[in-house]
């Protein structure tokens, strides 16, 4: 669950709990109020009827019933019973409703002076009345139709507003949280897009003093330090490589001149050739380091042009054959409809295939490489290079594209361990994917170029 949803859910839960508690308190409060208000009405009606019957001369049961029937404040489904001290029924209203009673109930009324009970939909009130030292017991029952209807309506209203309010709070909270945290979403997109060629990327800063702006400033400061460190490292590598190339070139030239001289013994010639090979290996290493420091230029996209990949492969093969004359290549296009054009820099891509071909010659068993070109329609141009060779260990496979990594079974061959690293770096800035697998006694490298 995302942070926005988690905050929205938590706020909605808190609101729901507080609103539910408030709704319950409102409902219980109104229910208690309805009960007390209706009890007051029942008591008033009971005492009024009793006083008319007992205290007012000339009013008998029939007149009292007539008065009761025509009263303005008549209660719904009302029934009134009045008993004397001998528990004899003195008066019963003319309503069809009934009230269940017994002597124990009347005794209970005398003890408590007033009791309340509920029978289904009826509210029942028992009242003790003392007049001229004579005890009277009044039972009155009625339905609070309007009060219960209001209570039911209040319950429905509270339930509807609870779910409506909770939904609105969740949606509004999610909306406002999304707006407030939008800079974080932009932050994430920018961070995801940062690569080694975009170390000068900066987040937008505002004059606000909120945490997001503070985080943006801290991030920009961090990126500035990283960029400075990277530039310093790249400049050091480039400068060191340039400075080393001159003396190494002189050593190579002097060794070549010494080898051409005829007054050396065979041991001296062999020794000089070994020195020349070592110097050439150092020269290759320096050139590789210099190339690694240059291929991350930020203006790389401006150098891209449409190139035919088959032309690049054959030019690289021709250069490799001039050095390793017994090297062979098997070239095959698996899909005749394949689009062989890609966006790239010709010189850099030639270096990629030069490194693959050199490795295939040095480390294969038959001095041969197989190149297959295929296409994943509408997605990528797939180039597969395979050559025979001994299997690497799992640890060596996991580090095959790291700098200065060489297989333990190929330590006898000269090399810097930077060839595949350079190839991968060049392919990365071309937005191409490079993968490795060992299948059927063969090393397999798969390159996927996005179709231009």
Model confidence pLDDT, tens digit, residues 80-122: 888 888 888 887 776 666 778 888 888 888 888 888 888 877 8
What share of the chain in percent tops pLDDT 70?
A: 86
Residue 267 binned pLDDT confidence (cut-offs 50, 70, 90): confident
Return all residues near 22 (Cβ < 8 A) that are at least 6 apart. Answer: none
Give the C-alpha distances (Å, rounded to integers) separating 229 from 233, 308, 322, 336.
Answer: 6, 37, 41, 48
Residue by residue, DSSP assigns 68-129 as: HHT-TTPPEEEEEEEE-TT--EEEE-S-S------HHHHHHHHHHSEEEEEETTEEEEEEEE
DSSP structure class, residue 399:
T
DSSP letter assigned to residue 300:
G
Topology of the domain covering 3-151: Beta-Lactamase (3.30.450)
- Where do the CATH 3.30.450.20 domains begin and end in the chain? 3-151
At 295 the three-state DSSP class reads coil
Those residues with Cβ within 8 angstroms of residue 441's Cβ, 6 or more apart along the chain or in another chain: 388, 389, 391
Domain boundaries for CATH 3.30.565.10 within the chain: 301-450
Residue 427 reports pLDDT greater than 70: yes
Asked if 242 and 375 count as a contact pair (C-beta separation under 8 A), the reply is: no
pLDDT value of residue 305? 85
d(C-alpha 339, C-alpha 337), whole Å: 6
The DSSP secondary structure of 328-382, one letter per residue, reads EEEEEES-TT---EEEE-HHHHHHHHHHHHHHHHHH-SSSEEEEEEEEETTTEEE
Q: Please, what is the average pLDDT of the chain?
A: 81
Q: What pTM did the predictor assign?
A: 0.49
Report the interhelical angle of 211-260 vs 266-294 (nearest 10°). 160
Q: State how far the alpha carbon of 207 is from the alpha carbons of 180, 216, 399, in Å.
A: 15, 11, 46
CA gap 452, 180 in Å, rounded: 39
CATH 1.10.287.130 in the chain is located at 211-294
Which residues does residue 89 pair with via DSSP β-bridges, in sequence order?
Answer: 83
Q: What are the φ and ψ backbone dihedral angles of 123, each rounded to 5 degrees?
A: -100, 130
Which CATH number is 301-450 given? 3.30.565.10
- Res 434: pLDDT: 92
CA atoms within 13 A on the CB side of 231: 10
Section 149-161 average pLDDT:
91
Per-residue confidence (pLDDT) for residue 72, from 0 to 100: 43
Yes or no: say if 252 and 284 are a contact pair by the CB < 8 Å rule.
no
Render pLDDT for 365-395 as a digit per residue (tens, 0 to 9): 888 999 999 988 778 899 999 999 888 888 8
CATH code of the region 211-294: 1.10.287.130
DSSP symbol at 409: G
- CA distances (Å), 114 to each of 147, 246, 280, in order? 22, 116, 116
């Amino acid at each position: 669950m995302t942070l926005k949803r988690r905050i929205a859910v938590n706020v909605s839960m808190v609101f729901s709990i507080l609103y539910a508690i408030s709704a319950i308190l409102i409902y219980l409060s109104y229910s208690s109020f309805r009960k007390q208000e209706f009890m007051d009405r029942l008591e008033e009606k009971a005492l009024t009827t009793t006083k008319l019957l007992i205290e007012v001369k000339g009013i008998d049961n029939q007149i009292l019933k007539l008065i009761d029937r025509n009263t303005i404040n008549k209660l719904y489904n009302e029934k009134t019973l009045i008993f004397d001290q001998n528990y004899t029924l003195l008066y019963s209203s003319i309503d069809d409703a009934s009230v269940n009673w017994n002597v124990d109930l009347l005794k209970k009324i005398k003890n408590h002076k007033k009791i309340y009970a509920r029978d289904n939909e009826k509210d029942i009130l028992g009242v003790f009345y003392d007049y001229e030292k004579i005890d009277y017991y009044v039972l009155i029952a009625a339905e609070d139709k309007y009060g219960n209807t209001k209570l039911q309506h209040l319950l429905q209203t509270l339930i509807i507003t609870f779910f409506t309010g909770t939904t609105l709070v969740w949606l509004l909270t999610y909306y406002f949280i999304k707006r407030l945290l939008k800079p974080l979403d932009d932050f994430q997109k920018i961070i995801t897009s940062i690569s080694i060629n975009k170390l000068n990327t900066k987040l937008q800063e505002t004059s606000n003093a909120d945490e997001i702006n503070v985080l943006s400033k801290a991030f920009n400061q961090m990126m500035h330090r990283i960029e400075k460190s990277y530039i310093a490292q790249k400049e050091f590598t480039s400068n060191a490589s340039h400075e080393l190339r001159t003396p190494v070139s002189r050593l190579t030239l002097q060794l070549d001149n010494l080898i051409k001289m005829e007054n050396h013994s065979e041991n001296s010639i062999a020794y000089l050739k070994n020195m020349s090979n070592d110097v050439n290996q150092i020269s290759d290493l320096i050139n590789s380091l210099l190339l690694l420091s240059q291929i991350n230029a930020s203006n790389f996209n401006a150098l891209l042009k449409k190139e035919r990949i088959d032309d690049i492969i054959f030019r690289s093969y021709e250069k490799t054959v001039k050095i390793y004359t017994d090297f062979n290549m098997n070239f095959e296009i698996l899909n005749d409809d394949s689009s062989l054009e890609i966006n790239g820099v010709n010189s850099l891509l030639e270096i990629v295939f030069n490194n693959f071909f050199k490795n295939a010659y040095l480390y294969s068993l038959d001095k041969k490489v197989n190149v297959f070109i295929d296409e994943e329609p509408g997605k990528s141009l797939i180039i597969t290079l395979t050559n025979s060779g001994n299997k690497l260990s799992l640890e060596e496979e996991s580090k095959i594209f790291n700098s200065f990594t060489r297989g333990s079974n190929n330590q006898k061959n000269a090399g810097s361990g930077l060839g595949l690293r350079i190839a991968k770096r060049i392919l990365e800035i071309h937005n191409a994917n490079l993968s490795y697998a060992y299948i059927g006694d063969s090393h397999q490298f798969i390159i996927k170029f996005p179709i231009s």
